[in-house]
């Protein structure tokens, strides 16, 4: 079943049926002011932090309420509805609507009883408040009087948990007053006698507002209970039913901002207005509202700016292939998804309530990879930040606080860090993600100076980027398990594998092997002969160990427990076949061709399903070892044999590196949201963004996906597609082109910005092969092989690549 379609030109997903199987959301705003809005206007907003800056309230795990509601009421018939289908929820045979989720804006259109409404939700570029720009048109042939009411439910405390849980406190610090064109909410208003800079118990007065520009407020309400009325809900607020609000604020209990205006519309006439909300001092709020006096003009300009900004970001990498699903994901939705994970990490969605008040090390370093080809400067700032969260022993801080203070942080070796973050120990993989990320950044930009840039460590000391990477190698070398492979520590990529300090993880061993290959490139650049030798020796030893200990006839095992038991061997009753060691054996360059073929074939036979490859098989149930936490999940779910979608990205890459274009692309399609647009009732999640996992074949809900938007899937699949399928493989000195595509593709094109040049690449495949290079022309000149040295690039570079 399908609920909408992709509008390629506008880069929008258009929802044509509002009764979607789950709230389908969009992200608005920036790190200064974040806002999430669903196709039924449910959602919340926050300044800087989803945990500590919550402004508009949302009740998680409920009915997608409350939200940014706009009610319309015909004052003759007294009938009312909402500009989004919910919360009033009119009969869909009479109520027609469309929701257009675009890049950082959402537009909702509704037609009901001869009235057309259009509301555009956005956060203006560079601003920290939100705009709900509404246009109402009378499409009937009689004069209409319409009451328009905007409703914003404020939290009573900026801290999400305090607002939801500590009611004996949070309900008694809030009050609202009316200021002509706005409801002003004050928190801790009783402290208004304090002088500038003074605080009581770290508290002072602060303000939020909900205002109206473009029309006059006719009535208002600042008290949630008075607006809704006892035994009423968001679908039938008393204030809306009555046609006039009570003109009272709240003093204690729950605040809200509700503003009504009455407009009269001749047939064909339209009126435009803007509701505005944010956390601002009252004088600033007044200025903001005044800025929208001519809201039609102001909002049009702001939306245009927003669209050009985002489309400009996406323009750095665009493709045209025979697959519309692939194009829409790479050109728009996967890319936008990568920007959102880059900005919001795992902080705020409809699944994450915002309480993880910091950046997960591995997640963030991986997220960066998804935007390097689009916005390398943005990536650079975050890479610096993450390097500054590396402890001087080379390990990563498992959680990097939003208040991170490089050079002065406690580490997992300090009880205070453990107490504050809840992370009791180092994880084996965190700092190893730096290698591909830093390498990709330098290869994309040619910014070699970065290698020598000095960056502090998290706790003390500082070092060049090169030194940081060397310390990451030291960390793994200093944490080896009983066979001499990297220890599993508190976890590796898989949160549910506790292998401990004596246990060992094949995945981390492969990452470590790969890290050494990458660092050799840096060492060569630095002409650091001694270190090259060191890496060569250690890598050879490690390679031998992995080959001896981890290859099990047709697959790589998953690792060793603290007691030395093998995990993931062929004869295990459960979890005897794991996905990640197979794909990573290829990505790391360790697997021989024979091993790669066998292991990937086993993945295909044992793990693949129509929605993607499951993480392992069979699920844990009765035979889980002590550190196999996955057993806590229902079989077929999350790490317990779910389709953990991030791993699909590595599988795409591994197959593509082997030149298996058919399989690589098939793996893309299986789990690609856009490719499931007509199976929304199964997938349930938005058909335009990735989810963390899809329920596997052991679940009765096989195919249902979860944990939308904020997932490592976004960046990993992006890398799998761009580097793998499309074959864009920059290195320090140029660009290698090595597509791995479905045979039926005869031609595709890539428009890519690269090191200050613009490349227009046409790949032709008249002989219908999956991979290979027959000829390469750069600006008409034939080059040997499939590699373009940097010197051959010009401002506009025309590249023709013949696969066959």
Cβ 433 to ligand NOJ shortest distance, Å: 10
- Per DSSP, the three-state class of 244 is coil
| DSSP label of 742 | -
Residue 467 makes contact with ligand NOJ by CB under 6 A: no
The 3-state secondary structure of 59-110 reads: CCCCCCCCECEEEEEECCCCCEEECCCCCCCCCCCCCEEEEEECCCEEEEEE
C-alpha count within 13 angstroms, C-beta hemisphere, residue 609: 25
Nearer of residues 500 and 742 to ligand NOJ, judged by Cβ: 500
Cβ 387 to ligand NOJ shortest distance, Å: 19
- C-alpha 61/C-alpha 66 separation (Å) is 12
Cβ 427 to ligand NOJ shortest distance, Å: 9
Residue 702: C-alpha distances to residues 341, 640, 706, 717 (Å): 26, 13, 12, 21
Nearer of residues 70 and 616 to ligand NOJ, judged by Cβ: 616
Count of helices and strands (H, E) across the chain: 21, 43
Q: What's the sign of the alpha-carbon dihedral 383, 386, 392, 394?
A: negative
Cβ 178 to ligand NOJ shortest distance, Å: 44
Residue 715 makes contact with ligand NOJ by CB under 6 A: no
Cβ 377 to ligand NOJ shortest distance, Å: 26
Nearest of 102, 96, 101, 131 to residue 117 by alpha carbon:
96
- C-alpha 676/C-alpha 659 separation (Å) is 26
Q: How far is CA 675 from the centre of its chain?
A: 19
Nearer of residues 312 and 424 to ligand NOJ, judged by Cβ: 424
Residue whose beta carbon is closest to ligand NOJ: 495
CA dihedral 448, 452, 456, 460 (to 10 degrees): 150
Cβ 550 to ligand NOJ shortest distance, Å: 20
- C-alpha 174/C-alpha 176 separation (Å) is 7
Give 709's contacts (C-beta < 8 A, 6+ positions apart): 25, 27, 337, 340, 341, 344, 349, 686, 689, 690, 691
Number of residues that bind ligand NOJ (CB under 6 A): 8
Cβ 519 to ligand NOJ shortest distance, Å: 23
Nearer of residues 292 and 493 to ligand NOJ, judged by Cβ: 493
Nearest of 237, 164, 344 to residue 709 by alpha carbon:
344
Binding segment toward ligand NOJ, per CB under 6 A, in 490-498, 537-545, 670-678, 793-801: 490-498
CB-based burial, 732-742: b 16+ in 10 Å, e otherwise: eebbbbbbbbb
Cβ 558 to ligand NOJ shortest distance, Å: 13
Give 726's contacts (C-beta < 8 A, 6+ positions apart): 319, 330, 739, 748, 750
Helix axes 376-387, 361-369, angle to 10 degrees: 160
- C-alpha 209/C-alpha 783 separation (Å) is 62
Nearest of 257, 339, 348 to residue 54 by alpha carbon:
348
Q: Within positions 16 to 45, which residues make up the interface with ligand NOJ, using CB under 6 A?
A: none
Nearer of residues 111 and 495 to ligand NOJ, judged by Cβ: 495
Binder among 223, 327, 363, 670 for ligand NOJ (CB under 6 A)? 363
Residue 494 makes contact with ligand NOJ by CB under 6 A: yes
Nearer of residues 123 and 635 to ligand NOJ, judged by Cβ: 635
Q: What share of the chain is helix, strand, coil (3-state, %, to 5)?
A: 30, 30, 40
Residue 493 makes contact with ligand NOJ by CB under 6 A: yes
- C-alpha 27/C-alpha 708 separation (Å) is 12
The structure tokens 């046409």 sit at 762
Binding segment toward ligand NOJ, per CB under 6 A, in 44-52, 260-268, 359-367, 665-673: 359-367
Cβ 639 to ligand NOJ shortest distance, Å: 5
- Structure tokens of 660? 């298996």
Cβ 800 to ligand NOJ shortest distance, Å: 40
Q: Within positions 194 to 233, which residues make up the interface with ligand NOJ, using CB under 6 A?
A: none
- C-alpha 390/C-alpha 554 separation (Å) is 37
Cβ 707 to ligand NOJ shortest distance, Å: 8
Residue 708 makes contact with ligand NOJ by CB under 6 A: no
Q: Are 480 and 486 in contact (CB under 8 A)?
A: yes
Q: Within positions 495 to 534, which residues make up the interface with ligand NOJ, using CB under 6 A?
A: 495
Q: Within positions 551 to 580, which residues make up the interface with ligand NOJ, using CB under 6 A?
A: none
- C-alpha 628/C-alpha 633 separation (Å) is 11
Residue 362 makes contact with ligand NOJ by CB under 6 A: yes
- Per DSSP, the three-state class of 696 is coil
Residue 355 makes contact with ligand NOJ by CB under 6 A: no
Nearer of residues 494 and 677 to ligand NOJ, judged by Cβ: 494
Binding marks (x or -) toward ligand NOJ, 325..354, rule CB under 6 A?
A: ---------------------x--------
Cβ 356 to ligand NOJ shortest distance, Å: 9
Q: Within positions 631 to 690, which residues make up the interface with ligand NOJ, using CB under 6 A?
A: 639
CA–CA–CA angle 470, 474, 480 (5° rounding) = 150
- Structure tokens of 306? 């927003």
Nearer of residues 363 and 444 to ligand NOJ, judged by Cβ: 363
Residue 360 makes contact with ligand NOJ by CB under 6 A: yes
The structure tokens 């949201």 sit at 673
Binding segment toward ligand NOJ, per CB under 6 A, in 356-364, 467-475, 586-594, 664-672: 356-364
Cβ 496 to ligand NOJ shortest distance, Å: 6
Nearer of residues 360 and 370 to ligand NOJ, judged by Cβ: 360
- C-alpha 662/C-alpha 60 separation (Å) is 41
Binding marks (x or -) toward ligand NOJ, 601..640, rule CB under 6 A?
A: --------------------------------------x-
Nearer of residues 650 and 748 to ligand NOJ, judged by Cβ: 650
Q: How far is CA 691 from the centre of its chain?
A: 9
Binding segment toward ligand NOJ, per CB under 6 A, in 414-422, 493-501, 587-595, 715-723: 493-501
| DSSP label of 744 | T
Q: Give catalytic status of residue 495 as yes or no.
A: yes
Q: Which of 7, 111, 282, 495 is catalytic?
A: 495
Nearer of residues 18 and 360 to ligand NOJ, judged by Cβ: 360
Nearer of residues 268 and 422 to ligand NOJ, judged by Cβ: 422
Residue 481 makes contact with ligand NOJ by CB under 6 A: no
- Structure tokens of 56? 């508009």
Which backbone phi and psi does 689 adopt, to 5 degrees?
-135, 155
Nearer of residues 357 and 447 to ligand NOJ, judged by Cβ: 357
Catalytic site residues?
495
* Contacting residues toward ligand NOJ, per CB under 6 A: 346, 360, 362-363, 493-495, 639
């Amino acid at each position: 079943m399908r609920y909408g379609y992709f509008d390629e030109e506008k880069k929008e997903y258009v929802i044509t049926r509002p009764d979607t199987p789950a709230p389908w959301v969009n992200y608005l705003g920036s790190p200064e002011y974040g806002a999430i809005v669903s196709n039924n206007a449910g959602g919340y907003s926050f300044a800087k932090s989803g945990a500590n800056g919550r402004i508009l309230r949302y009740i998680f795990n409920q009915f997608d309420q409350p939200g940014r509601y706009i009610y319309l009421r015909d004052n003759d018939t007294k009938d009312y509805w909402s500009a989004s289908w919910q919360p009033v929820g009119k009969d869909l045979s009479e109520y027609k609507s469309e929701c257009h989720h675009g890049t950082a804006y959402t537009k909702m259109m509704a037609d009901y009883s001869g009235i057309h409404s259009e509301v555009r939700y956005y956060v203006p570029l560079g601003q920290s408040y939100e705009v709900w720009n509404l246009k109402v048109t009378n499409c009937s042939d009689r004069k209409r009087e319409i009451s328009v009411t905007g409703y914003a439910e404020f939290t009573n405390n900026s801290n999400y948990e305090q607002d939801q849980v500590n009611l004996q406190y949070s309900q008694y610090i809030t009050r609202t007053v009316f200021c002509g064109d706005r409801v002003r909410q004050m928190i801790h208003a009783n402290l208004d006698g304090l002088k500038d800079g003074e605080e009581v118990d770290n508290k002072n007065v602060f303000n939020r507002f909900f205002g109206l520009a473009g029309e006059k407020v006719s009535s208002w309400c600042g008290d949630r209970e008075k607006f809704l009325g006892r035994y009423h809900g968001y679908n039938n607020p008393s204030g809306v039913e009555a046609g006039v609000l009570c003109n009272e604020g709240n003093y204690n209990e729950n605040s809200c901002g509700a503003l009504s205006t009455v407009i009269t519309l001749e047939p064909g006439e339209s009126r435009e207005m803007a509701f505005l909300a944010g956390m601002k001092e009252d004088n600033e709020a007044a200025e903001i509202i005044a800025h929208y006096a001519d809201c039609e003009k102001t909002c049009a300009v702001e939306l245009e700016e927003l669209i050009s900004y985002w489309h400009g970001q996406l323009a750095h990498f665009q493709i045209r292939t025979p697959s519309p699903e692939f194009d829409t994901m790479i050109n728009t939705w996967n890319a936008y998804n990568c920007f959102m994970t880059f900005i919001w990490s795992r902080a705020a969605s409809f699944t994450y309530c915002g309480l993880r008040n910091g950046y997960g090390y591995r997640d963030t370093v991986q997220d960066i990879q998804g935007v390097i080809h689009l916005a390398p400067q943005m990536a650079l700032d975050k890479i610096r930040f993450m390097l500054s969260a590396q402890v001087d022993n080379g390990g990563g801080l498992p959680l990097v606080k939003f208040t991170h203070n490089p050079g002065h942080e406690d580490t997992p070796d300090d009880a205070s860090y453990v107490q504050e973050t809840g992370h009791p120990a180092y994880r084996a993989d965190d700092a190893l993600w730096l290698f591909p990320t830093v390498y990709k950044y330098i290869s994309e930009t040619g910014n070699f100076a970065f290698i020598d840039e000095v960056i502090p460590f998290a706790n003390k000391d500082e070092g060049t980027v090169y030194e940081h990477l060397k310390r990451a190698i030291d960390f793994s070398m200093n944490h080896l398990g009983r066979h001499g492979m990297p220890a599993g520590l508190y976890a590796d990529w898989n949160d549910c594998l506790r292998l401990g300090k004596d246990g060992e993880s094949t995945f981390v061993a492969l990452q470590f092997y790969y890290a050494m290959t990458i660092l050799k490139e840096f060492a060569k650049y630095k002409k650091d002969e001694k270190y090259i030798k060191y890496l060569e020796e250690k890598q050879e030893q490690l390679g031998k160990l992995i080959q001896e200990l981890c290859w099990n006839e047709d697959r790589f095992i998953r690792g060793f427990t603290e007691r030395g038991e093998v995990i993931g061997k062929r004869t295990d009753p459960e979890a005897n076949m794991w996905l990640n060691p197979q794909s990573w054996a290829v990505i790391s360059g360790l697997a021989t061709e024979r091993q790669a073929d066998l292991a990937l074939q086993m993945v295909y036979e044992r793990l693949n399903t129509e929605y993607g490859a499951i993480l392992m098989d069979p699920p844990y149930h009765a035979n889980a070892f002590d550190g196999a936490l996955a057993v806590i999940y229902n079989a077929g779910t999350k790490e317990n044999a779910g389709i953990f979608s991030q791993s699909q990205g590595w599988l795409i890459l591994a197959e593509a590196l082997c030149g298996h274009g058919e399989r690589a692309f098939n793996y893309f399609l299986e789990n690609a949201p856009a490719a499931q647009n007509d199976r929304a009732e199964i997938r349930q999640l938005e058909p335009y963004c990735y989810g963390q996992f899809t329920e596997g074949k052991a679940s009765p809900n096989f195919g249902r996906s979860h944990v939308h938007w904020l997932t490592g899937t976004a960046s990993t699949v992006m890398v799998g597609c761009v580097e793998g399928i499309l074959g864009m493989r920059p290195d320090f000195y140029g660009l290698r082109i090595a597509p791995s595509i479905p045979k039926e593709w005869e031609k595709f094109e890539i428009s890519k910005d690269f090191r200050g040049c613009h490349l227009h690449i046409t790949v032709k495949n008249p002989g219908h092969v999956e991979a290979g290079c027959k000829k390469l022309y750069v600006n008409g000149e034939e080059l040997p092989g499939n590699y373009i040295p940097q010197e051959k690039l010009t401002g506009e570079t025309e590249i023709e690549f013949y696969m066959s």
